[in-house]
């Protein structure tokens, strides 16, 4: 045992007196045997526990949002990589959702977490700040409580924004935490009330358009479309088309020249609805205005053209993909609306059942092989692939995509845009990517032999390849690859899994009512194990335009290529044999997964049968009977 003495408090040990005055004030240590030891002999570092500062992970543990195992994994990850953010890591791993993290941050900062809808916001309080500042800072005034301005924010750590609010309003401020979706909804609601479609008199615009020629003004693509309402009637009409489509939740705008008028239709929840009509003679002016926005050649009307526009509508950044096609009555124009804020982040939100989601996540984590997502155009394949990429560690992996075109920009990967006119094809881009030391490659679509062959080679040489394929179901993807020209033994060696998906319309929550199943559909309901008396549907209301549906949800079937299935591929790759092998595997088909959504009250039997073409109303039952 060591004892520490100071000459001012204790007597010195036996021995010669110190000769240096400085030594008399130094601490002296000696052992029980009286032997003096120098200070250099005393330092023996021992592991000491650092003071732990309570963080978001601790709060999530207290809230029982994460398990002990998940908490332990996070702590080990933070020891190896102290630069990562705990909340970001938990979200990326899928252990929590964004709402849990915000609630934990609120608890950590001693703030209230609140869900806020636009009708709970006091207009006088909202007007205390400029709309642009609110959108930029993600901080929105909610109410004035006894002279204190209550603001909601999705970024509680942004103290500078709070100080800016105090400075601008000259009021005391109390902060509550809310979701970014709530902030966006409030901004959209209040901006819509100021600059919404009601400010447009459509009849007046159309009447004014008859006196207008083709507009050729050049504006900044990113300029807020709704702020240009005072300009020419053609511009106002096009702005109205786009802004109204965004508010209606449309995915596409179809502008079609007809004999008596120009027909405008919106695709909402996968179904086209008539929106409005315009004078036929103004069709060239409308198309020219759209071409100018997309920097296309307005003088070229004999060839198809494609372009892209970035716009701001209701405070939201929107990308528009423009496509023109010459027809016998003029150029038909289709505008696809891509809203970056609507991208699903993470596999937990794409609508997969828990078992399918778990199996899909396992495939995404594989080091090599091919993972295919199949289905027709507009079935959500790209969203599923983007969700798969989000699950990956972009910091440690070299992730690259080849797309035609790039739909959404992802910061954690390298995205390549295909330009076939200059020789930048899928195959050419893939050949270059393989020399870029990739770990993961996402191909927008496998559509020819060369692309498929390079994808197979990449999978066999240690790369994970994600891509889409146009087939009716998961099992048909094997036959499709054979038809493209890939040998069965190469497919068996490289294909890990195939997922088929469709999008079915959700039952409108505002007009849900009990539903009497028609006799012709009763057998499908009973076959799925559902009670016909428990089903619901949408009666139709103003909110859903009388359709009974609002929004969409995915249905999925997943084929996992195990050793048994590889042997079957090597023997017979016919569609019938592949479907038989899939059914024998015991996994749910698209129809089965759709009927699960029916039992949960998410959609209807008619909607499931509408999209599962391969399992039509009679074909599904007959096919199962033939297999048996």
CA 434, CA 354: separation in Å to the nearest integer? 34
Q: What pLDDT is recorded for position 191? A: 66
CA 52, CA 522: separation in Å to the nearest integer? 61
For the residues of 290-327, what is the DSSP string, one character each? HHHHTT--TT--SS-EEEEEEEEETTEEEEEEEEEEEE
Mean pLDDT of 598-606: 88
> 3-class SS at 216?
coil
Give the residue, 233 or 401, on which the prediction is more confident.
401
Residues 555 and 576 sit within 8 Å (Cβ to Cβ):
no
The overall average pLDDT reported for the chain is: 80
**Backbone dihedral region for residue 583 (phi beyond 0: left; psi -120 to 50: alpha; all else: beta):** alpha
pLDDT band at 5 (very low <50, low <70, confident <90, very high): very low
Q: What pLDDT is recorded for position 109? A: 81
> 3-class SS at 3?
strand
> 3-class SS at 509?
coil
User: Helix crossing, 449-460 with 426-433: angle to 10°?
Assistant: 20
CA 408, CA 444: separation in Å to the nearest integer? 12
- 537 pairs with which residues across the strands? 513
What's phi and psi for 138, nearest 5 deg? Answer: 55, 40
pLDDT band at 418 (very low <50, low <70, confident <90, very high): confident
Whether residue 23 is predicted with pLDDT greater than 80 in this model: the reply is no
Pairing of strands 261-268, 271-279: antiparallel
Whether residue 414 is predicted with pLDDT greater than 70 in this model: the reply is yes
Return the top range by mean pLDDT from 76-85, 483-492, 524-533, 545-554.
Answer: 483-492
CA 103, CA 154: separation in Å to the nearest integer? 10
CA 36, CA 583: separation in Å to the nearest integer? 84
Q: What pLDDT is recorded for position 31? A: 46
Residue percentage of the chain with pLDDT more than 70: 81
In this predicted structure, which of 496-510, 560-574, 608-622 has the lowest mean pLDDT?
608-622
User: By C-alpha distance, which of 106, 101, 247 is closest to 185?
Assistant: 247
Burial environment of residue 353 by CB neighbours within 10 A (0 to 12, 13 to 18, 19 or more)? middle
Mean pLDDT of 221-239: 59
Element (H, E) at 430: helix 426-433
pLDDT tens readout for residues 281-329: 888 888 888 998 888 888 888 899 988 888 777 666 788 999 999 999 8
Q: Show the CA angle centred on residue 498, arms to residues 493 and 500, nearest 5°.
A: 160
Residue percentage of the chain with pLDDT more than 90: 23
pLDDT tens readout for residues 47-61: 444 566 788 888 888
Whether residue 582 is predicted with pLDDT greater than 80 in this model: the reply is yes
Q: What pLDDT is recorded for position 195? A: 46
DSSP state of 222: T
What's phi and psi for 149, nearest 5 deg? Answer: -85, 120
CA 219, CA 223: separation in Å to the nearest integer? 7
Q: What pLDDT is recorded for position 378? A: 81
Mean pLDDT of 580-592: 90
**Three-state secondary structure of 257-293:** ECCCEEEEEEEECCEEEEEEEEEHHHHHHHHHHHHHH
Residues 410 and 389 sit within 8 Å (Cβ to Cβ):
yes
Edge to edge, what strands does the sheet with 414-417 contain? 414-417, 399-403, 440-443, 464-469, 369-374, 495-507, 549-560
CA dist 585 to 121, 199, 276, 509, 582, Å?
53, 58, 49, 36, 5
CA 448, CA 518: separation in Å to the nearest integer? 44
DSSP state of 372: E
Mean pLDDT of 145-166: 86
Give the residue, 457 or 412, on which the prediction is more confident.
457
pLDDT band at 345 (very low <50, low <70, confident <90, very high): low
For the residues of 321-365, what is the DSSP string, one character each? EEEEEEETTEEEEEEEEEEGGG---SGGGS---HHHHHHHHHHHT
pLDDT band at 342 (very low <50, low <70, confident <90, very high): low
Q: What pLDDT is recorded for position 599? A: 87
In this predicted structure, which of 338-352, 434-448, 490-504, 563-577 has the lowest mean pLDDT?
338-352
Task: Give residues with Cβ within 8 angstroms of 508, minimum separation 6.
Answer: 538, 540, 541, 543, 544, 547, 548, 549, 550
595's tokens: 């009927």
CA 70, CA 336: separation in Å to the nearest integer? 41
Element (H, E) at 31: strand 28-31
In this predicted structure, which of 107-116, 264-273, 343-352, 515-524 has the lowest mean pLDDT?
343-352
Mean pLDDT of 25-41: 47
pLDDT tens readout for residues 99-126: 888 888 888 888 888 888 887 888 888 8
Give the residue, 421 or 348, on which the prediction is more confident.
421
pLDDT band at 209 (very low <50, low <70, confident <90, very high): low
pLDDT band at 340 (very low <50, low <70, confident <90, very high): low
CA 39, CA 109: separation in Å to the nearest integer? 45
- Output the furthest CA–CA distance in the chain (Å, rounded): 119
Burial environment of residue 460 by CB neighbours within 10 A (0 to 12, 13 to 18, 19 or more)? middle
Residues 468 and 493 sit within 8 Å (Cβ to Cβ):
no
Whether residue 527 is predicted with pLDDT greater than 60 in this model: the reply is yes
């Amino acid at each position: 045992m060591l004892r520490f003495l100071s000459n001012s408090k204790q007597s010195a040990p036996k021995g010669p007196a110190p000769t240096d005055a400085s030594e008399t004030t130094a601490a002296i240590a000696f052992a029980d045997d009286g032997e003096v030891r120098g200070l250099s002999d005393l330092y023996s570092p021992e592991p000491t526990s650092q003071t732990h500062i309570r963080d978001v992970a601790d709060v999530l543990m207290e809230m029982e949002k994460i398990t002990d195992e998940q908490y332990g994994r996070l702590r080990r990850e933070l020891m190896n990589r102290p630069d990562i953010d705990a909340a970001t890591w938990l979200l990326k791993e899928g252990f929590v959702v964004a709402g849990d993290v915000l609630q934990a941050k609120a608890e950590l900062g001693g703030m209230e977490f609140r869900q806020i809808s636009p009708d709970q916001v006091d207009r006088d309080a909202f007007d205390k700040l400029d709309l642009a500042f609110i959108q930029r800072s993600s901080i929105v005034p909610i109410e004035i409580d006894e002279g204190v301005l209550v603001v909601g924010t999705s970024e509680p750590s942004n103290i500078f924004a709070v100080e800016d609010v105090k400075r601008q309003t000259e009021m005391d401020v109390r902060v509550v935490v809310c979701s970014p979706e709530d902030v966006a909804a409030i901004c959209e609601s209040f901006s819509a009330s100021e600059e919404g479609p009601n400010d447009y008199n459509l009849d007046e615009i159309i009447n004014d358009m008859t006196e207008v020629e083709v507009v050729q003004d050049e504006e900044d693509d990113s300029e807020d479309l709704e702020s240009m309402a005072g300009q020419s009637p053609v511009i106002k009409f096009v702005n109205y088309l786009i802004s109204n489509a965004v508010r209606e939740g449309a995915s596409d705008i179809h502008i079609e020249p007809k004999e008596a008028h120009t027909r405008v239709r919106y695709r909402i929840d996968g179904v086209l609805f008539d929106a409005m009509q315009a004078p036929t003679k103004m069709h060239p002016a409308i198309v020219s205005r759209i071409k100018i926005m997309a920097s296309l050649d307005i003088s070229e009307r004999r060839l198809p053209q494609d372009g892209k526009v970035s716009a701001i509508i209701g405070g939201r950044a929107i990308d528009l993909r423009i496509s023109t096609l010459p027809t016998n009555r003029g150029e038909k124009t289709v505008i696809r609306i891509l809203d970056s804020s609507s991208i699903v982040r993470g596999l937990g939100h794409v609508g997969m059942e828990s078992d399918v989601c778990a199996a899909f996540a396992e495939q995404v984590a594989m080091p090599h092989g091919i993972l295919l997502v199949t289905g027709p155009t507009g079935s959500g394949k790209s969203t599923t692939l983007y969700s798969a990429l989000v699950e990956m560690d972009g910091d440690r992996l070299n992730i690259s995509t080849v797309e035609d075109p790039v739909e959404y920009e992802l910061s954690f990967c390298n995205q390549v845009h295909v330009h076939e006119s200059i020789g930048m094809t899928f195959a050419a881009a893939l050949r270059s990517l393989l020399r870029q030391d990739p770990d993961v490659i996402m191909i927008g679509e496998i559509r020819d032999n060369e692309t498929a062959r390079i994808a197979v080679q990449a999978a066999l040489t240690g790369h994970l390849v994600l891509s889409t394929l146009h087939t009716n179901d998961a099992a048909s993807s094997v036959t499709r690859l054979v038809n493209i020209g890939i040998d069965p033994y190469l497919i068996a060696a490289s294909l890990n899994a195939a997922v088929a998906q469709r999008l079915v319309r959700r039952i409108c929550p505002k007009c849900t009512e009990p539903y009497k199943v028609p006799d012709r559909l009763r057998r499908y309901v009973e076959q799925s194990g559902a009670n016909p008396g428990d089903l619901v549907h949408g009666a139709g209301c103003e909110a859903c335009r009388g359709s009974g549906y609002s929004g969409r949800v995915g249905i999925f079937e997943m084929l996992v290529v195990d050793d048994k299935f590889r042997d079957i591929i090597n023997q017979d790759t016919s569609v019938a044999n592949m479907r038989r092998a899939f059914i024998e595997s015991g996994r749910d088909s698209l129809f089965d997964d759709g009927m699960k959504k029916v039992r949960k009250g998410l959609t209807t039997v008619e909607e499931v049968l509408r999209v599962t073409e391969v399992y039509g109303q009679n074909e599904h039952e007959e096919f199962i009977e033939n297999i048996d």
